[in-house]
């Protein structure tokens, strides 16, 4: 008799406020210090940052994801950690990235304004939504804009 072990995949999304101003140095420091742990735990995802806020999507198995979120929630580099969603998924959306950083603080004025017009403004930057579908739609908007600008090069 076979006992099938089904490893279910989950996606967790949260938003938080950075304690200090956010720049590439901070984002790259968070990402490079996460890489070894995330690859060991088979976690993938994306980390968005404005000057003041983070929005992170992490994907993996339940226990690893839960443990990572508990560590992240305790991290004193940010506060106001708001859990947006933690749900079982069919497949990863960000499987190609151990953790991919997107610095919205670095976007050109036109794209920043387009995103603010659509998603609202917070502390002078784009407001990260606190609904799952909106968070994923914002990431989709950014990927489309980045693909378009690559095509225009
Ligand atoms: C916005 C943000 C995102 C983070 N993302 C990750 C991550 O994807 N993986 C990770 O291992 N640590 C991440 N960290 C770091 C963790 O919060 C924590 O510092 C690290 O896992 C070490 O935890 P420990 O000191 O309790 O062992 C992140 C921190 C911040 C502020």
42-97 pLDDT per residue, tens: 999 999 999 999 999 999 999 999 999 999 999 999 999 999 999 999 999 999 99
In the reported structure, the alpha carbon of residue 119 is separated from the centroid of ligand 1 by a whole-number distance in angstroms of 27
* pLDDT for position 147: 86
pLDDT confidence band for 2 (50 / 70 / 90):
low
Q: Is the pLDDT of residue 3 over 90?
A: no
E strand or H helix at 78:
strand 78-89
Determine which residue's CA is closest to atom 23 belonging to ligand 1. Answer: 71
Cα-Cα-Cα-Cα torsion 115, 56, 107, 150, nearest 10 degrees, comes to -100
pLDDT of residue 7: 79
The pLDDT of residue 110 is 95
Q: Whose CA is nearest to atom 24 of ligand 1?
A: 71
80 C-alpha to center of ligand 1: Å? 15
Considering only CA atoms, which of 125, 106, 112 is closest in space to residue 28?
A: 106
Phi and psi at 10, nearest 5°, equal -130, 155
Residue ranges covered by each domain of the chain = 9-152
- Whether 30 is in the pocket of ligand 1, judged by its Cβ within 6 Å, is yes
pLDDT tens, position by position, 99-127:
999 999 999 999 999 999 999 999 999 99
Classified by CATH at the fold level, domain 9-152 comes out as: Alpha-Beta Plaits (3.30.70)
Residue 153 clears pLDDT 60, i.e. is over it: no
- CB of 11 within 6 A of ligand 1: the answer is no
Question: Taking the model in full, what pTM does it have?
Answer: 0.94
Contacts of 120 (CB under 8 A, 6+ apart): 126, 127
Q: What is the model's pLDDT at position 25?
A: 97
pLDDT value of position 26: 98
Q: What is the mean pLDDT of the chain?
A: 94
For residue 69, how far is its CA from the centre of ligand 1 (angstroms)? 8
pLDDT attached to residue 131 = 98
Note the pLDDT of residue 5: 66
Atom of ligand 1 nearest to the CA of 49: 1
Residue 94 Cα to ligand 1 midpoint, Å, equals 18
Q: How far is the CA of 77 from the centre of ligand 1 (A)?
A: 9
Give, using CA atoms, the residue closest to atom 13 of ligand 1: 34
CB burial string 20-46: b at 16+ within 10 A, e below: eebeeebbeebbeebeeebeebebbbb
Rounded to an integer, what distance in angstroms lies between the CA atom of residue 129 and that of residue 141? 13
Residue written as tokens 């590439």?
A: 24
Please give the residue that has the higher pLDDT: either 149 or 86. Answer: 86
Measured at the CA of 18, the angle between CA 17 and CA 20, to 5 degrees, comes to 145
């Amino acid at each position: 008799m076979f006992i099938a072990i089904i490893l279910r995949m989950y996606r967790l999304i949260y938003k938080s406020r950075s304690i200090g101003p956010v720049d590439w140095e901070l984002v790259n420091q968070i990402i490079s210090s996460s890489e070894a742990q995330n690859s060991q735990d088979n976690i993938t995802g994306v980390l968005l940052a404005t000057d003041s806020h983070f929005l992170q999507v992490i994907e993996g198995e339940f226990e690893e994801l839960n443990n990572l979120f508990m560590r992240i929630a305790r991290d004193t580099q940010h506060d106001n950690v708001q859990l947006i969603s933690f749900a079982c998924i069919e497949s990863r959306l960000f499987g190609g990235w151990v953790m991919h950083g997107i610095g919205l603080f670095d976007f050109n004025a036109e794209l920043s304004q387009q995103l603010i017009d659509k998603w609202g403004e917070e502390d002078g930057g784009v407001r990260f939504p606190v609904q799952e579908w909106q968070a994923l739609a914002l990431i989709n908007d950014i990927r489309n804009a980045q693909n378009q600008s690559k095509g225009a090069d």
